[in-house]
Amino acid sequence: MLTLQLNPDILECGTDEAGRGCLAGPVTAAAIILPDDFSNDILNDSKQLSEAKRNTLKPLLEDCALTYGVTHIFMDKIDKINILNASILAMQRAIKQLNPEPAHIIVDGNRFKPYHNIPHTCVIKGDGKYLNIAAASVLAKTYRDEFMEKIHEEFPMYNWKKNKGYPTVEHREAIRKHGITKYHRKSFRLLPEQLALNLK
Which element (helix H / strand E) includes 151? helix 131-152
Q: Give domain status of residue 122, yes or no.
A: yes
Q: In what order do the strands lie in the sheet with 67-73?
A: 67-73, 27-33, 12-18, 104-108, 120-123
Q: Which domain does 32 fall in, by range?
A: 12-145
Contact indicator for 150, 39 with CB cutoff of 8 Å: no
Asked if the structure places residue 167 within a domain, the reply is: no
Average pLDDT of adjacent 10-residue blocks, the chain of 200 residues: 86 98 97 94 92 97 98 98 98 98 97 95 95 97 98 97 96 94 94 52
CATH number assigned to the domain comprising residue 71: 3.30.420.10
Number of domains present in the structure of the chain: 1
40 lies in a domain? yes
Please report the pLDDT score of residue 193 as a whole number: 66
Residue 186 lies in a domain: no
The answer to whether residue 173 sits within a structural domain is no
For residue 84, the model assigns a pLDDT of 97
Residues for the chain: how many in total? 200
